[in-house]
Amino acid sequence: MTVTRVAACHAAPVFLSARKTTDKAIKLIHEAARNKAQLVVFPETFIPAFPVWSALRAPTENHDLFQGMATESIYADGEEINAIRAAAQATKTLVSVGISEKSRFSTATLYNSNLLIDRTGAVLTHHRKLMPTFFEKLTWSPGDGHGLRVSQTAHGNIGNLICGENTNPLARYSLMAQAEQIHISTWPAIWPTRVPSESAGTAANYDNVAANRTRAAAHCFEAKCFGVLCAGFLDNEAIGTITSGAANEDSVRGALEGSPRGASMFLDPTGALHPAYTLSNAGEQQDKEFLQHEEGIIYADLDLERCVEGKQYHDVVGGYQRLDVFQLQVNRTRSDPVIFRDEAVEKRENELAMKVDE
């Protein structure tokens, strides 16, 4: 079997609640598994939220929101992820989930992270976003190259980049060079760059659908892989929380309600839109190009054999590359703030070294 059924969960978190959002994720995993999905994908930092307030409110207004974000962010080896791992194992599905990750070495260092979990419950890839984009730097620290890995699974070779990383050609190339067949790109519900005005409407703002699809399509065409774009959904609970307490509540609400919404969709190895569909509780299929203005799960059946033909024309990591001219080096070491050496261990190492010298 070369066909993989993928479920992209176009869903809103239970805003700033790690536990409730985890419970929602588990329900969606079981729903997708009942519909025979083999890979279930969640948006960028689905647990516990995306900090869009930093785009619209002054930093001096956001201390309480950051406090809530730090409190509700989760450990990559914590109870919430353990529950999702158990759900993946119980349903025999692969799960890709975006989280705001809490570090073990600080009370408030956070990372924008993504975990790929195998159908056995094992964590295959733990990626931290290399560089938070624009206002995201007010919440997250830069990650490292440790997670620039393509996982070989029973349902394809799967890689992931988070939002703006899909604009980084070197990060993308590092995944292409690992025989990537399914590329997951995760996105927020909105990404406002301007407050919409009555005269300009949304035209002057950032078009999530066009921008995200352009980047993902370029990668699919170059890598000859399938693309899974999974964006979050902005619900009224999030709008109310972000708006409350802002110096200019009307302006913030207008930006939240008027900014273009992200969309969840699938692309084929030529970069073209791939057929997708939703499924009702009764199993009725409805064809959809993408999900944007409503919550739900969108599905696609990806035939991985289609990743082969295009390589005849442009295999940019093989026959269509000049390896004698270009060379890319990727540091996949996990970055830690400090390395402690135990005195007893160091003494023992020195003793062994002396014996070798003798």
Q: Report how far residue 66's alpha carbon sits from residue 53's, in angstroms, rounded to the nearest whole number.
A: 9
**Alpha-carbon separation of residue 189 from 10, 192, 208, 263 (angstroms):** 9, 10, 9, 8
Contact 72, 49 (CB under 8 A): yes
Q: In terms of Cα–Cα distance, which of 273, 274, 270 is closest to 313?
A: 270
Kindly state the tokens that stand for 302: 């990806």
Q: In terms of Cα–Cα distance, which of 91, 161, 85 is closest to 124?
A: 85
Bond prior to 48 in cis (omega within 30° of 0): yes
Catalytic residue (choose from 24, 102, 129, 224)? 129
Q: Has 31 been annotated as catalytic?
A: no
H or E segment to which residue 128 belongs = strand 123-128
Q: Report how far residue 249's alpha carbon sits from residue 56's, in angstroms, rounded to the nearest whole number.
A: 10
How many CA atoms within 13 Å lie on the side-chain side of 287?
Answer: 3
Catalytic residue (choose from 72, 101, 163, 230)? 163
Q: Has 102 been annotated as catalytic?
A: no
Q: Report how far residue 218's alpha carbon sits from residue 186's, in angstroms, rounded to the nearest whole number.
A: 15
Catalytic residue (choose from 9, 24, 44, 180)? 44
Nearest-Å Rg of the Cα atoms of the chain is: 21
Sheet holding 182-187, edge to edge: 151-153, 156-162, 182-187, 226-231, 265-267
**Alpha-carbon separation of residue 287 from 34, 192, 265, 291, 326 (angstroms):** 19, 29, 12, 11, 43
Q: What's CA 157's distance to the chain center, in Å?
A: 16
Q: Report how far residue 280's alpha carbon sits from residue 292's, in angstroms, rounded to the nearest whole number.
A: 17
Q: Report how far residue 35's alpha carbon sits from residue 37's, in angstroms, rounded to the nearest whole number.
A: 6
How many CA atoms within 13 Å lie on the side-chain side of 133?
Answer: 16
Residues labelled catalytic:
44, 129, 163
